[in-house]
Amino acid sequence: MSGVRVLVGTRKGAFVLTSDGKRERWDVSGPHFAGWEIYHVKGSPADPNRLFASQTSGWFGQIIQRSDDGGKTWTQPGTPPGEPTTGPGGMPKGESNKFQYDSSSETGKPLTTHQFYDGTQHPWEFKRVWHIEPSLTDPDTVYAGVEDAALFRSKDGGKSWQELSGLRGHGTGPKWQPGAGGMCLHTIVLDPGNPQRMFIAISAAGAFRTDDGGKTWRPINKGLNSPYIPDPTAEVGHCVHRIAMHRSRPGVLFMQKHWDVMRSDNAGDLWQEVSGNLPTDFGFVIDVHAHEPETVYVVPIKSDGEHFVPDGKLRVYRSRSGGNEWEALTKGLPQKDCYVNVLRDAMAVDSLDKCGIYFGTTGGQVYASADAGDNWAPIVRDLPAVLSVEVQTLP
Among 19, 97, 172, 341, binds another protein (CB under 8 A): 97
CB nearer to another protein: give 100 or 196.
100
Q: Residue 6 in contact with residue 20, Cβ under 8 Å? A: no
Q: Which stretch binds another protein (CB under 8 A): 66-74, 87-95, 111-119, 240-248?
A: 87-95
The dihedrals phi and psi of 89, each to the nearest 5 degrees, come to: 80, 5
CA dist 371 and 357 (Å) reads 8
CB nearer to another protein: give 32 or 197.
32
Q: How far is the CB of 78 from another protein (least distance, A)?
A: 7
CA dist 123 and 240 (Å) reads 22
| β-pairing verdict for 142-147 and 162-163 | unpaired
Q: How far is the CB of 111 from another protein (least distance, A)?
A: 17
CB nearer to another protein: give 160 or 324.
160
User: 238 in helix, strand or coil?
Assistant: strand
Distances in Å between the alpha carbon of 63 and those of 92, 99, 181, 186, 207? 16, 10, 20, 17, 27
Binding of residue 161 to another protein (CB under 8 A): no
CA dist 19 and 375 (Å) reads 17
Other Cβ atoms less than 10 A from the Cβ of 231: the count is 8
The dihedrals phi and psi of 277, each to the nearest 5 degrees, come to: -95, 20
Among 63, 245, 309, 386, binds another protein (CB under 8 A): 63
Among 9, 30, 71, 78, binds another protein (CB under 8 A): 78
Nearest to 302 by CA among 293, 294, 290, 311: 311
CB nearer to another protein: give 35 or 312.
35
Q: Residue 260 in contact with residue 275, Cβ under 8 Å? A: yes
Binding of residue 113 to another protein (CB under 8 A): no
Among 93, 247, 307, 354, binds another protein (CB under 8 A): 93
CB nearer to another protein: give 27 or 125.
125
Query: What is the size of the binding site for another protein (CB under 8 A)?
Result: 23
CB nearer to another protein: give 161 or 254.
161
The dihedrals phi and psi of 88, each to the nearest 5 degrees, come to: -55, 135
Among 98, 175, 320, 354, binds another protein (CB under 8 A): 98
- DSSP, res 385: P
Q: How far is the CB of 345 from another protein (least distance, A)?
A: 23
Q: How far is the CB of 113 from another protein (least distance, A)?
A: 17
Q: Residue 165 in contact with residue 101, Cβ under 8 Å? A: yes
Q: How far is the CB of 164 from another protein (least distance, A)?
A: 18
CA dist 174 and 166 (Å) reads 14
Q: Residue 28 in contact with residue 54, Cβ under 8 Å? A: no
Q: How far is the CB of 76 from another protein (least distance, A)?
A: 5
- Whether omega for the bond prior to residue 148 falls within 30 degrees of 0, making it cis, is yes
Q: How many residues in total does the chain contain?
A: 395
User: 80 in helix, strand or coil?
Assistant: coil
Q: How far is the CB of 355 from another protein (least distance, A)?
A: 38
Binding of residue 152 to another protein (CB under 8 A): no
Binding of residue 76 to another protein (CB under 8 A): yes
Site pattern 22..61 for another protein (x: CB under 8 A) = -------------xx--------------------xxxxx
CB nearer to another protein: give 99 or 254.
99
Q: How far is the CB of 134 from another protein (least distance, A)?
A: 22
Q: Residue 298 in contact with residue 285, Cβ under 8 Å? A: yes
Q: Which stretch binds another protein (CB under 8 A): 98-106, 149-157, 170-178, 313-321?
A: 98-106
* Stretch 169-228 residues interacting with another protein (CB under 8 A): none
Q: Residue 154 in contact with residue 148, Cβ under 8 Å? A: no
Interaction site with another protein (CB under 8 A): 35-36, 57-63, 76, 78-79, 81, 85-86, 92-95, 97-100
